[in-house]
Amino acid sequence: MMSLDLHPVFRNNRDIELAMRQFLFRASHAGVPVAEIIPGKGSGRLRDRVLAFLDQKHIRRLYVRREVDTKNSGRVLVYFS
């Protein structure tokens, strides 16, 4: 499973989007079935930004589904075909 921790870049909006975009392309081309993005628990604002990013139409084409981990709300799982 591939993993992206957003803690090091959480203050810079452009860095967050760039990191997520690059990560999703790498994960989809690597053929992994599941990848995780870790925004952390905190206030949930970063998680909401991650989910909004993943819900964009052009990003949505890269994966099959996404969900917030039921056991750890600071982790978003992205499933590929």
Check pLDDT > 80 for residue 66. Answer: yes
Mean pLDDT (the chain) is 94
| pLDDT at res. 12 | 83
* pLDDT average, residue stretch 7-34: 92
Calpha distance 17→52 (Å, rounded): 11
Sheet containing 65-68, strands listed edge to edge, beginning at the edge strand earlier in sequence: 2-5, 34-38, 76-79, 65-68
For 19-28, what is the mean pLDDT? Answer: 96
Residue ranges and CATH numbers for the domains of the chain are 2-79 (3.30.1370.110)
Question: Can you give the pLDDT at residue 81?
Answer: 82
Please give the model's pTM, rounded to 2 decimal places.
Answer: 0.92
Identify whether the C-beta of residue 78 lies closer than 8 Å to the C-beta of residue 66. Answer: yes
Q: How confident is the model at residue 10 (pLDDT cuts 50, 70, 90)?
A: confident
